Amino acid sequence: MISITALLLFSFLLIVIGEKLSLNYCYTMQYTNSESNLYDCTVVTLLNDTQIYFYNSADPNKTPKPHWLKISETDWIKSTTWSDGDRQWMNKVINIQSSVNKSVGHVLQWNLSCEGERHAPVFSSNEFGFDGENLIYFNCTSKTWLTPENKKNPEMEQLWNQQYRQLAVEKCVFKLNTCSLCFLSLAPTVYIFQNKSVSDSSELILTCMATGFYPKDVKMSLMKSGTEIPDHLITSSGVRPNHNGTYQLRKSVEIQEDEKDQYECYVSHSSLTEPKIEKWEDKVSVGFIVGVAVAVVAVVILFCGLVLFCALKNRKKKRE
């Protein structure tokens, strides 16, 4: 039967408008001689190429839920509980294949994946491998199970198409297109700051950093007097993962120190209704105003203190 884990988790997932979503399950089972007829399995689950779940049937501990998935803890446990049906099905397949080859150490792999966008064509994959070689796969166009051309097995194809059609990814695709909201889009926090250039003391390295955003796709532009700075003048870190599953991006440009107030940073992300704009002149002007204000207050306090000190001193002299 189709992966229960996949169906449960897919029922919670929504593709944000314009956002591509992919879900991939990688199952692995190793055949060994033992008294038990049920072999241990592992499964790795990737959402948009980010691992969200790992399970080893020999280890009862569950993978913690990523904070950016808006699922209740109860639903998360339910959706990630190991499916006995999946494990039993793989056990059946590996026993059949291992009966042909009596040697020990056989490995069965099952890859089930779906990806696409809401109201858009969906690509899906459902395939099995045995001992590192392709065993059988589901053709979404013909909606039939097929064996590789170099190892055609009509008997296996007939058996699977008669008995195991429910393994087709159609259900996975259906869940992908009719799922409910679960994705939590996290907006980036944007900073702009400077460092002295190491190579030229008259220049600054102006850096814009966006961090804490999810999903991964983001656009950042550095502007000078309203004109976008070309890419060949910019140094980019590329989008990098943070430790908590969110992402960050930095872009830097070398500028003359006396023109730093002409620069600004634009960041666009699916979590934002409009781009975030961080203006460098705001940093300079606010810092200048605060600095001046602090200096003025300090001078006033010092002046008042001197006046009070002199007044008290004169009063003391008159009393003497």
Three-class secondary structure assignment of 90-104: HHHHHHHHHHHCCCC
Higher-confidence residue: 247 or 61? 247
Pairwise CA distance, residues 98 & 157, whole Å? 18
Structure tokens at 175: 């869940």
Tell me: pLDDT of 274 over 60.
Answer: yes
3-class secondary structure per residue, the chain: CCCHHHHHHHCCCCCCCCCCEEEEEEEEEEECCCCCCCCCEEEEEEECCEEEEEEECCECCCCCCCCCECCCHHHHHHHHCCCHHHHHHHHHHHHHHHHHCCCCCEEEEEEEEEEECCCCCEEEEEEEEECCEEEEEEECCCCEEECCHHHCCHHHHHHHHHHCHHHCCHHHHHHHHHCCCCECCECCEEEEEEEECCCCCCEEEEEEEEEEEECCCEEEEEEECCEECCHHHCEECCCEECCCCCEEEEEEEEEEHHHHHHEEEEEEECCCCCCEEEEHHHHHHHHHHHHHHHHHHHHHHHHHHHHHHHHHHHHHHHHC
Peptide bond into 188 cis (omega under 30): no
Q: How many residues does the chain have?
A: 320
In the chain, where the domains are located: 4-178, 189-283
pLDDT tens-digit map of 187-230: 999 999 999 888 888 888 999 999 999 888 999 999 998 899 99
Place of tokens 């006396």: 258
Tell me: pLDDT of 23 over 80.
Answer: no
Pairwise CA distance, residues 107 & 265, whole Å? 52
What pLDDT, on the 0 to 100 scale, is given for residue 11? 40
pLDDT tens-digit map of 53-95: 788 888 766 666 666 666 666 666 665 555 667 788 888 888 8
CB atoms inside a 10 Å sphere around CB 315: 9
Could you tell me if 119 and 45 are in contact, meaning their C-beta atoms sit under 8 angstroms apart?
A: no
Higher-confidence residue: 42 or 31? 42
Average pLDDT score, the chain: 75
189-283 fold = Immunoglobulin-like (2.60.40)
CB atoms inside a 10 Å sphere around CB 180: 8
Q: What are phi and psi of 316, to 5 degrees?
A: -65, -40
What pLDDT, on the 0 to 100 scale, is given for residue 109? 94
Judge whether 4-178 and 189-283 match in fold: no
Could you tell me if 226 and 257 are in contact, meaning their C-beta atoms sit under 8 angstroms apart?
A: no
pTM exceeds cut of 0.75:
no
Could you name the CATH architecture of 4-178? 2-Layer Sandwich (3.30)
Q: Which of 249, 265, 190, 179 is nearest to 216 (CA)?
A: 249
pLDDT tens-digit map of 95-109: 888 777 767 778 999
Q: Is 48 left (phi over 0), alpha (psi -120 to 50) or beta?
A: left
